[in-house]
Amino acid sequence: MNVFAHPSSKQKKIYTAMLLLGLAALIVTGFLISLHLKPAEVGSFCNLDDYWNCDRVNKSTFAELMGIPVSYLGFAFYSLLTILIVGLIKGVDFQKRLKPITPSLLLAANAVFSSAGAVYLLFLEAPFLGNLTALALVKTILFIFCYLIILKKFYSNKSSTTVFLAFLSILTLFGVNFSLYLTDIELFVLEAICLFCLTQQILIIFITGLNFYALKESNHG
C-alpha cells in the first residue's frame, strides 16, 4: 500500500527550510497586498526613485490578473504551499485524505494545468516584448518540457511521498515561471523594479531548488 512515510531527520530539515522560506514569502506578499490597497498619493518607503519604485509596479494595470490582484494570488499560492509543506513535515498521508484522487492523478492534473498556464502567460506577455518574444516562447517550451518530464518520470512511482513531491516540483516551477513573467513585465514594460516583488521572486527560486533536492532524496530513499 502506498502511504506517506514519516520523513527522515534529513528530509525534515529540507522541509523546514522550505517552510521558513514559504513563510517569508507569505510575509512579503502580505506586504505587497497592503501596498496595493494603500492610496497612491500616500506613497511607499520602497519608492527609492523612478526605477526602484514599488508603486509603479504594484499599482500598474499589470498588478491584476483577470481582475484579481497578483499579490492576492501570490498570498493564496504561498498559503497553499505552506500547508502542504507542514503536511510533509508531519508525515500526513495525503493519499488517504485525498481519496478518491490519487497523488499520480494530482500530478497529471497539475502538469496539464501548469502547461496551460505557461501558454496563457506567454499570451499575456508576448504583445509587449517585441524582439524578445522568441525568448519568451523558448522559456515557455522549456517549462512545459520540464512539467512533462516530471510527470513521465514520477507518475508511476511506488512511493506516494515521491509522487507528491513531484507534484510540488511542478507547482513551485510554475511559481518560478509566473515570477519570470512578472520580471519581464517589470523590466521591459514598466521599466521599474519593486524590491519586495524581487524578494518574492528570489524566494520561490530557492524553495523550488530545495523541493527538487527533497524529491531527489525521496526518490533515492
Please answer whether residues 199 and 46 qualify as being in contact, where contact means their C-beta atoms are separated by less than 8 angstroms.
Answer: no
4: pLDDT strictly greater than 70 = no
What stretch of H or E contains 150?
helix 133-154
pLDDT, one tens digit per residue, over 85-126 is: 998 888 777 767 777 788 899 999 999 999 999 999 999 999
DSSP character at residue 52: B
So where are the chain's domains? 9-220
- Assessment of whether the complete model's pTM goes beyond 0.85: yes
Res. 28 pLDDT band, cuts 50 70 90: very high
pLDDT of residue 209: 96
